[in-house]
A = this chain, B = another copy of it.
Amino acid sequence: MMKKTIYIYLIIFMNKRSRPTMHFSINRDYFINQLNHVARAIPGKAAIPVLTGMKLELKSDRLILTGSDASISIESVIETSQEAAQLQVTTPGSIVLSARLFIDIVRKLPTNQVEIQVQDHYNVQLTSGKAVFTIQGVDSSQYPVLPETDEDKPVTLPGLLFKKLINQTIFSASNQENRPILTGLNLSFHDGYLTGVATDSHRLSKRDIPIKDLNPSLKGLNITIPKKTVIELTRILDDESNVTFYVMAQQLVFHFDNLVIYSRLLEGTFPDTSRLIPTTYNTELTVNTQSFSQALERAALLVHVAKSNVVQLKMSQGSVALLVQGISIGQSTEELSYDSLEGDDLTIAFNPDYMRDAVKSFGDTTIKLGFISGERPLLLREDKVEEGHNDLIQLLTPIRTHHA
């Protein structure tokens, strides 16, 4: 009788002093992999300090890791049913931990099993083999709540194809915040295909990919995704996975594997760029992307040291050359090999790095460069036998020089 009384008293006492303590164990290698994904969204420094932390939320059947920089959030959902995770839930709960320190510790733990338990005062104990770490956590109620999502009208694409669209366009997005809409990747939904466009007003990249079974209500939809979101997506998304996304009023949610990425959308109207794209040319040059790209890299050497940004392409009487001149440290010339040169003689100047990005986006193939004059944008497209629609085009504004 006496014993029982004491027992009840202790229960009451503990309830007053402590909260339900999160407690689980997990396979370290699997955990590290998920931590690394989620950490991609977590800034090193943040105006809201809790955002430098990672939130761990443990339910009876799953662990949810969240990282966010307010513009992009990444969630990893690890379920007890995933065998490789070896997740064992003792007590549900939640906590926020300093992301960098937490990941550093987990990475260096001595065994492949890690046990994590929240103690009093948000102290968190990590145990692995004979090593025991105790670090200070933060009450998870301080962590911002992610917006509610309305997972309606999904769009599903093969991961590899969507990554290709991103990689072939995003380098043309602006890095300057004076026109925020130009810092993103614009996606527009058409009948049977999706178009991605990025431009900083000096260059433009445009890629179409086919899309099946698009919900009719999405036709005509036009959204612009922040550059950081699509870059992180290319880094995390597996080639073999499908990615499903949901478009909401001001945000976008990507689902793939056990990950969820929330991203804000850029506000404003993306400029209509279709009228900029030329259809007829006065000069056309057909080249192999690899040899042209290597020549551009060489031409850029002196240009970079001189902090100039001008290389000239001189097409004259059947000869094609890249020239760097007019800078004090030196000059260079290189005769280019080419497949064909048609139309008027022309000299045109451009930024060699922009041209190289554009050329490399086609992969190892043969491309056509179409020119109108030394002052008008030039167009790059794949050199296909059957003419018609170009899946990928790159547009580049020339630089006016005294030499041109």
Could you say which of B136, B329, B331, B335 contacts A330, with CB atoms under 8 Å apart?
B136
Contact partner, A332, options B132, B302, B337, Cβ 8 Å:
B132
**B301–A104 CB distance below 8 A:** yes
Q: Are A133 and B297 in contact (CB under 8 A)?
A: no
A84 CB–B CB distance under 8 Å: no
Number of copies: 2
Structural contact, A130 and B334, CB atoms closer than 8 A: yes
- Which of B109, B332, B336 lies in contact with A134, CB distance below 8 A? B332
Q: Which of B110, B298, B333, B336 is within 8 Å of A298, CB to CB? A: B110
Interface residues of chain A: helix, strand, loop or mixed (majority): mixed
Q: Are A131 and B101 in contact (CB under 8 A)?
A: no
Q: How close is A303's CB to chain B, nearest CB, in angstroms?
A: 12
Pick from A98, A109, A134, A335 the residue with the most CB of B within 10 Å: A134
A133–B302 touching, CB < 8 Å: yes
Task: Give 1 or 0 for each of A86-111: 1 = CB within 8 Å of chain B CB.
Answer: 00000000000010010011001110
| Bound: A335/B108 CA distance, A | 15
Q: What are the residues of chain B within 8 A of A258 when measuring CB–CB?
A: none
Give the 10 A-B CB pairs with smallest separation, nearest first: A135-B330, A130-B335, A131-B334, A133-B332, A134-B331, A108-B298, A132-B333, A134-B330, A101-B305, A104-B301
A interface list, Cβ under 8 A from B: 98, 101, 104-105, 108-110, 123, 130-136, 294-295, 297-298, 301-302, 305, 328-337
